[in-house]
């Protein structure tokens, strides 16, 4: 359940960048509205899944939480890179470079891990 939930958080985080890129790349007003609706939904999904992951994380002992924090970071960025490779044309069409995409994902990572562990902002300061 933990890995599935972490996967959902990462995929939904990348989906936000994907749909914003699609919205920025199109001139179709209907598609722009659909993207806006999806972006709003994704925010709620991420909040819900982050709460679930925080519950799972909190139930672990200190050692288990420590290695999980490292695993979460590795997994988050690995999966984010896979998504970039699969959708880079759309991300670029929406005005994103790889470094810009990673910067957005870093922000999402810090926000998510801070909610779960309470220490992510200290790690990235």
Contacts (Cβ under 8 Å, ≥6 apart) of 14: 79, 80, 83, 84, 105
Q: Is the pTM of this model over 0.75?
A: yes
Contacts (Cβ under 8 Å, ≥6 apart) of 18: 83, 87, 90, 91
**What pLDDT was estimated at residue 113?**
77
- Token match 């924090």: residue? 69
**What pLDDT was estimated at residue 14?**
95
**What pLDDT was estimated at residue 120?**
52
**What pLDDT was estimated at residue 107?**
93
Vertex 58, ends 55 and 61: CA angle to 5°?
145
pLDDT band at 124 (very low <50, low <70, confident <90, very high): very low
**What pLDDT was estimated at residue 114?**
75
Contacts (Cβ under 8 Å, ≥6 apart) of 24: 94, 95
**What pLDDT was estimated at residue 125?**
41
Reply yes or no on whether the pLDDT at 89 is more than 70: yes
CA distances from 77 to 28, 30, 72, 82, 109 (A): 32, 32, 9, 9, 9
Per-domain boundaries in the chain: 2-124
Contacts (Cβ under 8 Å, ≥6 apart) of 94: 20, 21, 22, 23, 24, 25
pLDDT in tens, 73-85: 899 999 999 999 9
Reply yes or no on whether the pLDDT at 2 is more than 60: yes
**What pLDDT was estimated at residue 119?**
59
pLDDT in tens, 14-35: 999 999 999 999 999 999 999 9
């Amino acid at each position: 359940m933990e890995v599935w939930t972490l996967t959902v958080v990462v995929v939904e985080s990348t989906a936000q960048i994907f749909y914003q890129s699609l919205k920025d790349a199109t001139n179709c007003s209907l598609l722009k509205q659909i993207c806006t609706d999806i972006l709003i939904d994704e925010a709620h999904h991420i909040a819900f899944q982050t709460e679930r992951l925080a519950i799972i994380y909190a139930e672990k002992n200190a050692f288990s939480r420590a290695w999980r924090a490292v695993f979460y970071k590795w997994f988050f960025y690995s999966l984010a890179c896979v998504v970039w490779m699969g959708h880079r044309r759309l991300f670029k069409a929406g005005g994103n470079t790889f470094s810009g995409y990673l910067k957005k994902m870093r922000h999402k990572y810090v926000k998510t891990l801070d909610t779960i562990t309470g220490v992510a902002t200290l790690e990235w300061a």
